[in-house]
Structures are given as C-alpha cells and as structure tokens.
Structure 1
Amino acid sequence: MPTFLGALRSLLLTPKLETVTFARRGFPVAGSTAVEHLEAIPQSVICGFEWGIDARSLWEVERRLETVAPELRGFAYEGATMAFTVRDAMAGGRGRRARELLLGPGRPHIFLTYIGIGFAMARLPRVLWKKVMPELGDTPYHPTMSWLAVDGFGFDRAYFDTRRWVERQHVPKPYPWEGNPDYFLRAVDQGIGRALWFINGALPGRVADAVRKFAPHRQADLWSGVGLAATFAGGCAEQGLAELCAAAGPYHDELALGVVFAVKARTYAGFVPEHTRLAAATLAGLSIDAAVAIADRTAVSPDETGPGGSPAYELWRERIRAHFKKAARAA
C-alpha cells in the first residue's frame, strides 16, 4: 500500500495512459495495423512507473512487475527504473532505490533499465545527471551499455516532443556521459531512431522516409535504432520487414547491428517472442543463437576504446558492423 507521500508523487508525476496513445501524440500512423501492439509498450512503461513512484518497498514493486506478460515485462521495468531514478534524485542523489533494483530483480532486464534511467534524465535538470547512474560494480555490461540511458533520453524526447526533435531535427547540447561528450549526440540519435519506429506505426516506408529526412551524418545511428526497435518491439509482418531491409540500402549493417543488440537483450531477459525471431531472420539472416554468438564473440571490456577515443560501447557496435560488412563482401 502506498504512503500518503507516495500517492501524492503518483498523482503529480505519473502520466495517464491515454497520453502515450498514438492518436493523442498525433503520430501519422494511418494504415498501420500495429498501433494497438505498439501502444501497449509505453503503457507498460507507465504502469511500471506508477508502481515504482509510490511503492513502499522493492519487494512490492517486484511482485507487481512479475505479473506483467513476459513480452512486456522489460518495458515495465523501464518505468520502475525511471521512477526510482526520479525518487533518488528527489532525495538529493542519496537514494539507492535504482541501484537495488538494477542489482536485484531488474538485473535480467539491465539493457532496458538503463533506458529507464534515460527517461528520468529527460525530466531532470542536467545538473542532476551526474548522479543518475548508480554504481553497479562489476555487473555484466556495466558501464559499457550505460550509453543506453542516453539512447533512452533521445527516444523520450522524440516521442514526447516530436515536432522539435523529429520534424525540426533538434540537436541537443553535448553532455560528457562517461567522459565522452562527442559520442553523446550519436547515442541520442540511436534513441531517436527507435522512436521513429513507433512514431510511424512500424510502417516501413514511413520509417525509411523519416530517417532520410535527417542530415546524412545522422542516418547511420538512426538506422541502428530502427533495427533495434523493429526486432525488440515488433509490430511488422515478414513482408514489411523485407521492405525495411531493402530500404536501409547502404545502412544494412547498421540495421543488422540493432537486430543483434535487440536479440541479446531479449535472450538476456530470458524470453524471446516470435516477432524477434522473425525480425532476426528477415533483417539480418540470423537465427537467435547466431545473433547471440555474434554479440558474445565481439563483446568488449569496459576499459577498451575505439578509434579516436570512442567508448567501449561504440567499439562493440563497430565489431558487430564489421561482421556484416565482411559477410556482405563474401556474398
């Protein structure tokens, strides 16, 4: 049962489910049959947020989250992480709720819980960002995949401020995430690319057109976000996925990169829906086991860096790209 303060936080901070519907957001999705499927995803995030923002204990939140269908459970964990991050920030950065969640029941969903931190960042002043990422020790994929928090920030801004971030293609001020302000903008674009999948109702032609409207130097990261969303979230039949694959053209390795990360996230959480299997096969020509093998074979250690000092996260991405470039040359 929530406390009075928790109920007040929930009342003031929790968005209503209708605010994330595509009609309410004004997304141009006429003709899409995927709307109901895709809308369930941000609605699951809101449920997780509501449970997290007013809960007395982690146990209570965990029990609620575990009632969510496996396909959507990771998204609910995103929302709970967002709520705990906000609560920790409200405690002057002294809170430990997010850390306890990520080291505990949220551990299998680590890829998505990072994104939940990014959702919180979108609602917190930048001066508080330096305290939003909890210390997770030697947890697998930390801090390498913490760039997904920046991805989550980009997704949030594109979804909720579409006119500015998508139509006007706003470029935010760099931020020294993991000491690398130059890469910050690229990680933001990866999140915007994921959002384009939702904003355009998983309609391949619309998604591809939306990507092409951005400056050429941004399109590679946008395509990787599209590949991740199409594979993890689903919403498109085989023919549409084949059309998306063709539309990516010279950016196919970026699209396939997103596929590999999505499959890795799904398998790490212990549940792979059929639409993920279909997307892996259609967009990247991979079985689930093959995609995981690529991710594991190319994995990096947190202290590695790529060309020009790019973070370990980007080095991992580059190694996956290299796999698909090599395969394309051999074909």
Structure 2
Amino acid sequence: MSNLRALRRRVLTPNVRETQLETRGFHVKNAEAKHQLETVGVSFLQGYAYAVEARSADQAVEWLETVPRSFRGFAYEGAGMGAVMLDALTGSGKRLAGLLTGEGARHNYMIYVGVGWAMARLPRFLWPDVTAIDPVLRWLILDGYGFHQAYFKTGAYVRDPAAPHPFSWRGGSDRYSARAIDQGIGRALWFVGGTDPDVVAGLIASFPEHRHGDLYAGSGLACTYAGSVDEEELRRFAEHAGPHFPNLAQGSAFAVEARERAGTTIEHTHLAARVLCADRTPEEAARVCIDTKPAGCDGGEIPAFETWRQHIAEAITSRPYAQKGAVA
C-alpha cells in the first residue's frame, strides 16, 4: 500500500519546476524575494503531496504540522487542492472533510483556497459540492480559482486584462463570482510582480478601474501573508493604492487573521499589521475580522462575505492611516 501511495503522489503532484519564477516568466526583484516565492511554491506542493500520499487525513495533518511555521499555511493550501483531487479520483469527499476537522480546522481559510485550485484543474462534473461549505467562507474557493488562473494562465488573465472570462458555479451569485476571482487574481499579482510594489501596482493599473479595489484587496492579502517586503515598500504600496487603500488594508487584515487563527504569525505579520492596519498588533487586526464576521448568509445578491469585507475595511481604516505619513 505504501508503494501505491507513493505512486499516487508522483502521478498526481504537479512538477516543482512549474513554481519557479523563470518558468512562469514572473518579475524577479532580487534573490531574496525569488527564494521566498519559490519556497512558497515548494511548500504548496509539499502539502499537496502529503494530502494525496497519506493513509488518512489525520496523517496528512500530522505531516503538514511539520512544515516550518512561515510556510505552513501554503502547505495547507496545497493540501486542500490535493484532497479535492484525491476525492475526485476516488469518488468520495473524505479527504477534504477530514482535513477540515481537528488541527486542520484552524487552517480552513487556506484549505478552501486550495479547493479553488483543484476546481481550476478538474472538469466541472468532478467539482466538489460547494453548497455543503460555509456560505460565508466558500467565496475563498474562488480566490483560489482566480489565483490559479492568473498564476498559470498569466497571458490570458494578466497580460490581457480586458479579456472576458465568464464563470458560473453553484456557490452563489455569478455577478459576485467575478469579483471573488479578481481577489484571487490580485493575490497572484504579488507573485507575478515578484513582490515589487511598483511592478504590482503597475499590473493592477493595467486592469479596468472598476476592478482595482478587489485586485488591491487580493494583493494586500498576499503582501501581508507571503511578504518579502520591508516597511518602506509596504508604505509605497499603500501610496500606490490611493483611494483603494481601504481594500488593501482589508486584505492585509484578513491575512493577519488567517495567520493568527492558525498559529503561524511571524515577524512580517507584525510589520504588516502595524503599517497597513493603522498601527495595530496582529491580535488587534485579527480581532477586527473576528468581531465583524457575519453569523450566516441571507442569500441576497450581495453575499455576506462581501458585507464582511466592507465592514473590515471600514473598521481597519477608522484609525487614520494618514497619521503614519503614507497616505494623504
């Protein structure tokens, strides 16, 4: 059986070369940023491999918890994708359901994002039943879908920003789906732009104006969670965001909360919370997200997830960022 699991891992796991910046044609800011982003990719694939090779979800979680704290969330994201791919192969939903219990539940945000990666690779008839997933958080699945498309289909989704990409699913409003996917695309732009705030801002500027808010929200999440920038670069990125700074701050706060709930807070989390979340500690920024989270979803045209994001943005920016000297 161990040989079968190892074969399953080799067959199902993407090649690590696909995460290298040269392979992807992404901007290289410097050697440190390149190493950071490529380690993120390696960690993602490690988590993916753990999910498909482990005897059980419990064993997968045991392995995932050995990944260094800085990159553990990315491993869980990969595990979310791997679990859905394995479940599609076996015709069950046990691996994903198992990952979302116990210790893995603390990483549910990242696991849901990984589900979106799998949906981007699977034919529609093999997509998981997303209606069984928390109606507030299931939009994170489309964040993962959007990230995947921008990361692997950069020409169509980033280099040709006006190209239409219609999308429909059973998870909610088609109109909002495009916005949730843009949040994932924005997160991917942090990778495409090599963590260079000027390059990333330039990429966002190439998109139609009405999409900038969601793109900055996704990039705000990525610059906080993946990092590889210093304080001056974060402040410069905030300046680039201009009127979309509340979106940037919301994404940053969301990333802080994801790390806090998973116990993976690192030094960069403190820096980003201070710079982008109006001089808050990670605990304070996370508390804003927790306190504003809706208890459920009423099924209206504007999802509770979007209302939550708006409330986070309003609360985070209620402590004027301009006092820090970055945004007038």
TM over 0.5: yes
Q: Which residue in the other structure is 2:106 paired with?
A: 108
Structure 2, unmatched stretches of 5+, are 324-328
**Percent identity for Structure 1 against Structure 2:** 40
The answer to which of 54-63 and 110-119 deviates more is 54-63
Counterparts of 2:11 and 2:292, CA distance in 1: 44
Aligned positions of 1:121-132 closer than 5 A? 121-129=119-127, 131-132=128-129
Instruction: Say which SS state the counterpart of residue 144 (structure 1) adopts.
Output: coil
Instruction: Say which SS state the counterpart of residue 56 (structure 1) adopts.
Output: coil
- TM-aligned CA deviation for residue 330 of structure 1: 10
Task: Name the amino acid aligned to 1:2.
Answer: S
The answer to which of 187-196 and 104-113 deviates more is 104-113
What do the CA deviations read for 1:276-318 (whole angstroms, capped 9, x no partner)? Answer: 110111122222122122112211122246xx62111001001
Counterparts of 2:202 and 2:190, CA distance in 1: 11
Matched-pair contact (CA < 8 Å) for 1:89–1:132: no
- TM-aligned CA deviation for residue 323 of structure 1: 2.3
Aligned positions of 1:112-151 closer than 5 A? 112-129=110-127, 131-133=128-130, 135=132, 142-151=134-143
Counterparts of 2:125 and 2:109, CA distance in 1: 24
Of residues 270, 280, 287, the one that matches 2:281 is 287
Q: Which residue in the other structure is 1:139 paired with?
A: none
User: CA 1:134/1:12 → structure 2, altered by over 3 Å: closer, same or farther?
Assistant: farther
User: CA 1:235/1:225 → structure 2, altered by over 3 Å: closer, same or farther?
Assistant: same
Counterparts of 1:313 and 1:59, CA distance in 2: 29
Of residues 299, 314, 320, the one that matches 2:293 is 299
TM-score (norm 2): 0.91
Task: Name the amino acid aligned to 1:110.
Answer: N
TM-score (norm 1): 0.91
Q: Which residue in the other structure is 1:181 paired with?
A: 174
Structure 1, unmatched stretches of 5+, are 137-141
The answer to which of 184-193 and 286-295 deviates more is 286-295
Q: Which residue in the other structure is 2:81 paired with?
A: 82
Give structure 1 regions of 4+ aligned residues with deviation exceeding 4 angstroms. 324-331
Counterparts of 1:216 and 1:41, CA distance in 2: 30
- TM-aligned CA deviation for residue 74 of structure 1: 1.5
What do the CA deviations read for 1:85-133 (whole angstroms, capped 9, x no partner)? Answer: 11111233x331100111233101011000111111111112333x343
Aligned positions of 1:52-63 closer than 5 A? 52-63=51-62
Matched-pair contact (CA < 8 Å) for 1:32–1:201: no
Task: Name the amino acid aligned to 1:227.
Answer: G
Q: Which residue in the other structure is 1:163 paired with?
A: 155
What do the CA deviations read for 1:169-215 (whole angstroms, capped 9, x no partner)? Answer: 24322213423111111000000000000111110100100000001
What do the CA deviations read for 1:65-89 (whole angstroms, capped 9, x no partner)? Answer: 1211111111111112211111111
Task: Name the amino acid aligned to 2:110.
Answer: L
Of residues 263, 266, 270, the one that matches 1:273 is 266
Matched-pair contact (CA < 8 Å) for 1:74–1:112: yes
User: CA 1:326/1:56 → structure 2, altered by over 3 Å: closer, same or farther?
Assistant: closer
Counterparts of 2:126 and 2:102, CA distance in 1: 24
Counterparts of 2:31 and 2:239, CA distance in 1: 19
Counterparts of 1:168 and 1:282, CA distance in 2: 32
Matched-pair contact (CA < 8 Å) for 1:303–1:312: yes
Aligned positions of 1:86-101 closer than 5 A? 86-92=85-91, 94-101=92-99
Of residues 299, 313, 323, the one that matches 2:305 is 313
Q: Which residue in the other structure is 2:326 paired with?
A: none
Q: Which residue in the other structure is 1:68 paired with?
A: 67
What do the CA deviations read for 1:22-75 (whole angstroms, capped 9, x no partner)? Answer: 111111224464110121111101011112222222233222212111111111
User: CA 1:177/1:9 → structure 2, altered by over 3 Å: closer, same or farther?
Assistant: same
Counterparts of 2:250 and 2:158, CA distance in 1: 22
Counterparts of 1:322 and 1:82, CA distance in 2: 32
